[in-house]
Amino acid sequence: MSANDDLKGEPPVEVETSPDQLSNGGGGDADMFESKAEKSQVSATEDQASISEKANELKEHDVPDEESAQAEKVKHELQKELEENDGWLKILGNDEIMKKVNKPGLPETRPLRGEVCTIRVEGRLQSDESVIFESHDRFSFQLGDVEVITGLDMSIPLMCKGEVATIKVSPRFAFGAKGSDKVPPNSHIIYEVELINFENEKDLAELTVSERRETGNRKRERGNWWYGRGESSLAIQCYRESIGVFG
């Protein structure tokens, strides 16, 4: 039989239908065809629902797998970068701010913007590491409120609690062309930092009068420091925070 024979099919066959069969909706072959059509439609609907349900299940299972694969990829790239740079992490993708872990901290314990961090910190000149221009056994500041140089404000969120790290900062994110009392202009600096602890900032309602005065004055003085360096936008930010504390 040829393909054309299949397309033409068999000649139609006339079927006699009694009045009783017509009154029952066509009866005979018609009922059989309708029944098959209904079953076929129901089956198709069920198959579609089953396929949709399985697709959703696969999608739900795929999402964590994709996230896990992406996290693993990032981890692999980070590890590769650390190996290529002798353990140094280039925070901005260049040499402007670099961080190297000397002692790991507790995993997954990184501070968030707005939290109060307590650190041990020692700052030296990169050109002459015998010169210590800053040293604190315990120094507390609010992360993200420009209460420290920008290089530290951007590095400490990448540290874990208890971690000890060396951080190299270029003049752009340190003391710039003006320098400071003990830092010559355009100096690259090196910090050794230990993240001792961090905690949520207290609500203003919980602060005593003396605590408000201390916090407000600290932010105001930092505003004066930024203003004296020509950083008006950072100075305004500190002044606004100070006013907010005094209420």
d(CA 95, CA 109): 26
Q: Is the dihedral of CA 29, 31, 34, 37 positive or negative?
A: negative
Structural domain count of the chain: 2
Question: Does 126 share its domain with 219?
Answer: no
The alpha helices in the chain, defined as continuous H runs, are 3-8, 19-23, 28-84, 150-155, 209-228, 232-246
End of a domain among 164, 184, 201? 201
Question: Does 186 share its domain with 206?
Answer: no
Question: Does 145 share its domain with 226?
Answer: no
Reported as a pLDDT band with limits 50, 70 and 90, residue 160 is: very high
d(CA 239, CA 220): 5
Question: Does 184 share its domain with 166?
Answer: yes
pLDDT of residue 175: 92
pLDDT of residue 96: 94
Reported as a pLDDT band with limits 50, 70 and 90, residue 208 is: confident
CB distance 223 to 242 below 8 Å:
yes
pTM of the model as a whole: 0.62
Q: Which of 209, 201, 197 is nearest to 163 (CA)?
A: 197
Question: Does 138 share its domain with 190?
Answer: yes
Question: Does 149 share its domain with 221?
Answer: no
pLDDT of residue 111: 92
Question: Does 189 share its domain with 107?
Answer: yes
| Percent of the chain residues past pLDDT 90, beyond the cut | 32
Q: What is the DSSP letter of 247?
A: -
Reported as a pLDDT band with limits 50, 70 and 90, residue 103 is: very high
